[in-house]
Amino acid sequence: MKRALLALVLACPPSVMAATPPPGKALYDQIDRRTAEVLPKVVGWRRDIHEHPELGNQEVRTAALVAAHLRTLGLEVRTGVAHTGVVGVLKGGRPGPVVALRADMDALPVVEEVDVPFRSKARGTWNGRDVGVMHACGHDNHTAILMGVAEVLAGMRAALPGTVKFLFQPSEEGVQDGETGGASVMVDEGALEDPKVDAVFGLHVFPYEAGAIVYKPEGIMAAADVLTIEVKGRQTHGALPWSGIDPIVISSQIVLGLQTIVSRQEDLTVGPAIVTIGLIQGGNRYNIIPEDVRMVGTIRTFDPGMRDEIHARIKRTAENIAASAGATAKVTIETGNPVTYNDPALTQRMGPTLKRVAGADKWFPNGRVTTTAEDFAVYQKRVPGVFFFLGITPKGTDPKIAAPNHSPRFFADESALPVGVRALSNLAVDYLLGGK
């Protein structure tokens, strides 16, 4: 028997053996062709969403656009998930695993400064304040890309061995005071169930070279917690500071004291960490020392032990500085997103897929960690997942000087859009072909 098999192999011409396509080759070719066909729509959706951005839990127009598109493709569509989220279910022609693909839809309270024809002029209300609204983090790209992926895969459904769930999520950037939202509410309301998801994939545009795919196994984005410090002094006339207790000066000392926690008290060889105060509120008149000051900030960590230590040291630092001046400081820390953690086995398994899509020259499987955060991590706490960055910095522009996410000058090169569509489509197909 062995001799017969050997004779068959030797008799088979090399040209015939080389011509045998690898598993999935026909599907990969379909993805490329269908991506090219849908690309004009993807660009149009992206520009439309960019011009009409909506803040977290307010993505009514965007959600309606998404839901209408998914229905035209014949998907099962559920709306109103986590307030304004949309979940679409595409059942393949054969039974198999269930893979989820996620995009976030919300914009930021930022006034756009990029001079493009589809520049946002939108206004909105955030925590009672009138604000400009801009897709300064690129979620318009994410939504348009996943709409394109849905159309690509819907056209191939008969060949898909399993099910694809499309998660269009609101409020990744957070919610207004008193509201709930984001990935945690999506999960609570069954986004990963019925059918139960086996793996989840997502991407985020980032100022790497356009078309680059950057990721790493294990932790890639930081855990993020919200810090609030309320300093209470004693109000008095601004000309008579000795007759009161000045919470503004005390708050200034606290801000400076917090900076020594990371720089002087934590072992940064364990992992990076950040403590930032981004908002200070106090006083209403130039010649009155107010009664109190409120500060809000963010804590970013990668190591659980360091996370706990920093929480404790913030409390001790703020309270003791306030007490030294006769004031009080109330510290509240709201635990937020966990570390965005790429499952090592799944990351290794899908590495060849991402390399095939990006090309060897734009494939970076050992990217650097970033202290930005993502609530995609909430899905990864429930099922294995891989999250990667898609570069959007125009060719010839140094990514180091490109405007970062959340900047009013953030700009995304649309040449990255087809790479995003192909990446998520190929990940879904390869995962389904490989089974659980």
Question: Using CB atoms within 10 A of its CB, is residue 79 exposed (0-12), middle (13-18) or buried (19+)?
Answer: middle
Of 335, 63, 369, the C-alpha closest to 186 is 63
* pLDDT of res. 7: 44
**Are the CB atoms for 427 and 202 separated by under 8 Å?**
no
Categorize the per-residue pLDDT at 17 as very low, low, confident or very high, splitting at 50, 70 and 90: very low
H, E, C per residue of 52-90: CCCCCCCCHHHHHHHHHHHHHCCCEEEEEECCCEEEEEE
Categorize the per-residue pLDDT at 242 as very low, low, confident or very high, splitting at 50, 70 and 90: very high
* pLDDT of res. 421: 98
Residue 38, pLDDT > 50, answer yes
Higher pLDDT, residue 5 or 161: 161
* pLDDT of res. 435: 72
Residue 353, pLDDT > 80, answer yes
Residue 5, pLDDT > 60, answer no
Categorize the per-residue pLDDT at 11 as very low, low, confident or very high, splitting at 50, 70 and 90: very low
Residue 327, pLDDT > 60, answer yes
Peptide bond into 195 cis (omega under 30): yes
Structure tokens at 356: 């095939």
Categorize the per-residue pLDDT at 21 as very low, low, confident or very high, splitting at 50, 70 and 90: low
> What gap in Å lies between CA 302 and CA 222, rounded to an integer?
5
Residue 19, pLDDT > 50, answer no
Residue 88, pLDDT > 90, answer yes
* Residue 208 neighbours by CB under 8 Å, 6+ apart: 214, 364, 389, 390, 391, 392, 393, 399
H, E, C per residue of the chain: CHHHHHHHHHHCCHHHHHHCCCCCHHHHHHHHHHHHHHHHHHHHHHHHHHHCCCCCCCCHHHHHHHHHHHHHCCCEEEEEECCCEEEEEEECCEEEEEEEEEEECCCECCCCCCCCCCCCCCEEEECCEEEECECCCCHHHHHHHHHHHHHHHHCCHHHCEEEEEEEEECCCCCCCCCCCCCHHHHHHCCCCCCCCCCEEEEEEEEEEECCCEECCCEEEECEEEEEEEEEECECEECCCHHHCECHHHHHHHHHHHHHHHHHHHCCCCCCCEEEEEEEEEECCCCCEECCEEEEEEEEEECCHHHHHHHHHHHHHHHHHHHHHCCCEEEEEEECCCCCEEECHHHHHHHHHHHHHHHCHHHEECCCCCECCCCCHHHHHCCCCEEEEEEEEECCCCCCCCCCCCCCCCCCCCHHHHHHHHHHHHHHHHHHHHHCC
Domain boundaries, the chain: 23-221+339-434, 223-334
Q: For the ranges 17-26, 246-255, 396-405, which has the lowest average pLDDT?
A: 17-26
Categorize the per-residue pLDDT at 22 as very low, low, confident or very high, splitting at 50, 70 and 90: low
| Cα–Cα distance list, 254 to 190, 260, 292, 323, 371 (Å) | 42, 10, 14, 11, 22
Residue 2, pLDDT > 90, answer no
Which residues carry out catalysis? Answer: 106, 172
Residue 56, pLDDT > 60, answer yes
* pLDDT of res. 270: 94
Residue 16, pLDDT > 90, answer no
CATH fold for domain 223-334: Alpha-Beta Plaits (3.30.70)
Q: Which overall architecture, per CATH, does domain 23-221+339-434 show? A: 3-Layer(aba) Sandwich (3.40)
Higher pLDDT, residue 322 or 12: 322
Structure tokens at 413: 């090169």
> What gap in Å lies between CA 284 and CA 183, rounded to an integer?
37
* pLDDT of res. 150: 98
Q: What is the average pLDDT across 410-427?
A: 98
